[in-house]
Amino acid sequence: MTEITVTLTKEQRITLFRNLVRADKFGKMMYSRMMQGKLIGFYHPAEGAIAPGVAAGSFLTNDDILFPHHRGHGITHMLSKGIDIEPYIAEHAGKSTGCCEGRAAWHYAYPDNNVFGTTAYIGHNFVPCTGFGWAAKRNNRGQIVMNCFGDGAMGTGRSHEGLLLSSNWQLPIVHFCENNGFAIFAEVEEMHPTAHLSTIAEGLNIPTTIVEDGQDVFAVAEAVMPAIERARSGGGPTFIEAKCLRFKEHDIGNRDLRGWKPREQDEYDAMLKRDPVLVATERARAESLFTDGEIEKIHEDAEQEVARAVKFADDSPVESPTEAELMATLYAPRDGVSF
């Protein structure tokens, strides 16, 4: 197999940096609004672990199929792919202008962007991704599937079945493991007999890449882009494992534990030095991507985008569907049958 290598252009690095800053601002806003009681359902913060999602989504086409990781409710992935972000925020607030009319909370869907939602079942995405991968191979138009998940998903039977079939059938799928070292409270070392989950894919003859510094969005993108090209050109699946850091608790309301003990302050202090925006800013300055004034402008633009989305959500009416309306959207229509 020919190895595909990619050197990021300046324009691609600029895109990654902008999307990273946007994802960071939106994620922090969502955390704040959840704490204020302005969101319905749950929120699983992605702070600290946003670089993989930005790299995964930034260079997909609208025709490509994306299954985001549940962390951050996929905001880093979908925002980078180009979804309309305002209905996403409204959905989390239970507003009628939401992407699912305020009825789904974090079970979002953007079918026009080939984002088909999520569930609370860890590893669920391997099943539909296999089907979409099969369809993409048959339609022969260069469509690929980006399948994003955490290390916890690798303990499910669905993941092993999906990996096996994607290898057997040489499906155009990028399997992207965002390994933050935790499945809720359980440490990855406790759940798996190997330090690198990518070895599971290697055993199924799937090409693998490990990104040891998943805090560096540029390094992650340099691994993602060859995998996208391999899938798009008929080279079959790739498994990427990005080692990243989870700064916050699994979901708001739970304690932030390592096993059964609270994480130590020293761990937080060390993690914050590897904040992905900080890492990217240092690289951007070193590589002369931006002046300090341009970096400040990118942050200002992102803050204004967040403010517009918040205003849109706040100004939108609360969704209050009738029973008939709920039933009509729950079941497919059938001739002569009403709900």
Residue 337 lies inside a defined structural domain of this protein = no
Residue 339 lies inside a defined structural domain of this protein = no
Residue 336 lies inside a defined structural domain of this protein = no
pLDDT tens for 137-174 read 999 999 999 999 999 999 999 999 999 999 999 999 99
Residue 334 lies inside a defined structural domain of this protein = no
Query: Going by C-beta distance under 8 Å and a sequence separation of 6 or more, which residues neighbour residue 182?
Result: 151, 152, 188, 246, 250, 258
- As beta bridge partners, residue 110 has 115
User: Which CATH number goes with the domain that contains 284?
Assistant: 3.40.50.970
Count of domains for the chain: 1
Task: Name the percent of the chain lying above pLDDT 90.
Answer: 75
For the chain, give the number of residues: 339
Residue 144 lies inside a defined structural domain of this protein = yes
Confidence of residue 231 (pLDDT cuts 50, 70, 90): very high
For residue 145, the surrounding DSSP H or E stretch is strand 145-150
Residue 2 scores a pLDDT above 60: no
Greatest extent of the chain over all pairs of C-alpha atoms, in Å: 67
List the one residue out of 162, 146, 176 whose CA is nearest residue 204: 162
Residue 335 scores a pLDDT above 90: no
Residue 119 lies inside a defined structural domain of this protein = yes
Residue 131 scores a pLDDT above 90: yes
Residue 107 scores a pLDDT above 90: no
Residue 331 scores a pLDDT above 90: no
pLDDT tens for 252-305 read 888 888 888 999 999 999 999 999 999 999 999 999 999 999 999 999 999 999
Domain interval for residue 297:
10-329
Residue 2 lies inside a defined structural domain of this protein = no
Which of 33-37, 97-101, 222-226 is predicted most confidently?
222-226
Residue 4 lies inside a defined structural domain of this protein = no
Q: Write phi, then psi, for 190 (nearest 5 degrees).
A: -80, -30
